[in-house]
């Protein structure tokens, strides 16, 4: 399951403990790793789509998403790097809305550490996943896996998105619990979070 195992030992935020528990409780459902990512689209209109959770970045709470550099969301995020995740777990009746800044890491990045992270997530992906970025002339065109050398690094179309959470809205419909988490410090290091109860 994405985000489990070793990642659990690095938990630092109260909302992330709730999220890990939800992931564990719903791990038998394939769709539990799917969530919706909303961005600011053309003309300031909302744009939403379903993406796949690819785990947390090491040593922090940044949520990783893989996407095709040719997709609309990449241009939207470069223009306005704000995003919000809506993640609902059908067995445990829990919803997480996670908003923050989204970093777009493609092959044009000038930061060696970010390029290294992009390469690491590329090689951690299955060959089937990697082959999805070979479609021409647009994303989603099926391509045979044997057209891809497993030792070759990320192709130009492969893009890593990392969402750095600033606010988390948690709802448990079974227990009628609602919690709001807000980050009090910015940056890549450990941040303090304020949690408050809210009514449904």
Report how far residue 33's alpha carbon sits from residue 38's, in angstroms, rounded to the nearest whole number: 16
* pLDDT digit string, tens, across residues 35-77: 999 999 999 999 999 999 999 999 899 999 999 999 999 999 9
How far, in Å, are 41, 93, 184 from residue 57 at the CA level?
26, 26, 20
Residues 160-180, mean pLDDT to the nearest whole number: 97
Q: Which of 16-25, 106-115, 119-128, 141-150 has the lowest mean pLDDT?
A: 141-150
Tokens of 194: 């304020």
Residue 170 class from Cβ within 10 Å (0-12 exposed, 13-18 middle, 19+ buried)? buried
- Residue appearing with tokens 């300031």: 44
Each domain of the chain, given as residue ranges in start order, spans: 5-197
Per-residue pLDDT band at 198 (split at 50, 70, 90): confident
Q: Cis omega before residue 147 (within 30°)?
A: no
Q: Is 99 helix (H, G, I), strand (E, B) or coil?
A: strand
Report how far residue 131's alpha carbon sits from residue 198's, in angstroms, rounded to the nearest whole number: 44
State the pairing for strand pair 177-183/82-89.
unpaired
Residues 158-181, mean pLDDT to the nearest whole number: 97
Report how far residue 177's alpha carbon sits from residue 120's, in angstroms, rounded to the nearest whole number: 38
How far, in Å, are 29, 142, 158 from residue 49 at the CA level?
20, 20, 18
Tell me how far apart the terminal alpha carbons of the chain are, to the nearest angstrom.
30
Class of domain 5-197: mainly beta
118-122, 148-152, 189-193: which has the highest mean pLDDT?
A: 118-122
> Which residues are CB-contacts of 152 (< 8 A; sequence separation ≥ 6)?
none
Handedness of CA 50, 55, 56, 57 (dihedral sign): negative
Evaluate if residue 155 carries a pLDDT over 90: yes
């Amino acid at each position: 399951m994405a985000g489990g195992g070793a990642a659990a030992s690095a938990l630092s935020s109260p909302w992330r403990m709730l999220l890990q528990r939800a992931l564990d409780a719903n791990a038998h459902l394939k769709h539990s790793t799917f969530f919706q990512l909303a961005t600011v689209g053309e003309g300031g209109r909302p744009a939403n789509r379903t993406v796949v959770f690819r785990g947390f970045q090491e040593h922090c709470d940044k949520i990783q998403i893989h996407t095709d550099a040719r997709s609309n969301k990449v241009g939207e995020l470069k223009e306005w790097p704000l995003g919000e995740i809506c993640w609902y777990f059908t067995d445990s009746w829990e919803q997480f809305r996670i908003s923050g800044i989204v970093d777009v890491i493609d092959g044009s990045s000038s930061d060696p550490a970010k390029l290294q992270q992009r390469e690491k997530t590329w090689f951690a992906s299955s060959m089937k996943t990697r082959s999805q970025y070979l479609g021409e002339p647009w994303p989603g065109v099926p391509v045979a896996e044997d057209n891809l050398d497993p030792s070759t690094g990320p192709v130009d179309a492969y893009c890593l998105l990392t969402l750095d959470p600033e606010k988390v809205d948690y709802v448990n419909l079974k227990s009628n619990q609602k919690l709001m988490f807000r980050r009090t410090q910015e940056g890549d290091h450990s941040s303090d979070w304020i949690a408050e109860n809210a009514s449904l």
